[in-house]
Amino acid sequence: MRHYTIKDFKGDFPNDEACLEWLKNAKYPNGIFCDKCQKVTKHYRLAKRPAYSCEICGNNVYPMVGTILEKSATSLSTWFHAMFLMANTRCGISAKQLQRETGVTYKTAWRMFRQIRSMLGDDVST
């Protein structure tokens, strides 16, 4: 199997929009179930918010809610970049390296580092 490289990653996730779309598809593989309509309905992308709106009733769905991305001021594409780096670096990557690669502050890098590590299910004691 071919290795998934940073170049592939940048092609798949060129911006926040692509990341949000991926997140939506990962979270709702069979379409978005509308709580108000009580069925899977068509949802369209809202222009000004990271949300999708039900075509029938207008109920909004935020794919980031309930994930580590929900209350973060860091852009989705930066999070995805960090997750790519951490998932693909065999011998582990430090928060400092994460800071260098993604261009965020050390504080942000450290926070992402801890949250992604717990999400990936790595042994936190190491």
Residues that bind Zn ion (CB under 5 A): 34, 36-37, 41, 54, 56-57, 59
| C-beta of 8 vs 35, nearer to Zn ion | 35
Alpha-carbon dihedral of residues 103, 107, 110, 112, nearest 10 degrees? Answer: -70
Looking at the Cβ atoms of 59 and 72, the one nearer to Zn ion is 59
Structure tokens, 17: 């929009």
CB of 39 to Zn ion, least distance (A): 8
Q: Which is nearer to Zn ion, 25 or 60 (CB)?
A: 60
Residue 82: both structure tokens together:
């960090």
Minimum distance from residue 60 beta carbon to Zn ion (Å): 10
Kindly state the smallest distance separating residue 21's Cβ from Zn ion, in Å. 20
- Nearest Cα neighbor of 9 from 80, 74, 89, 68 is 80
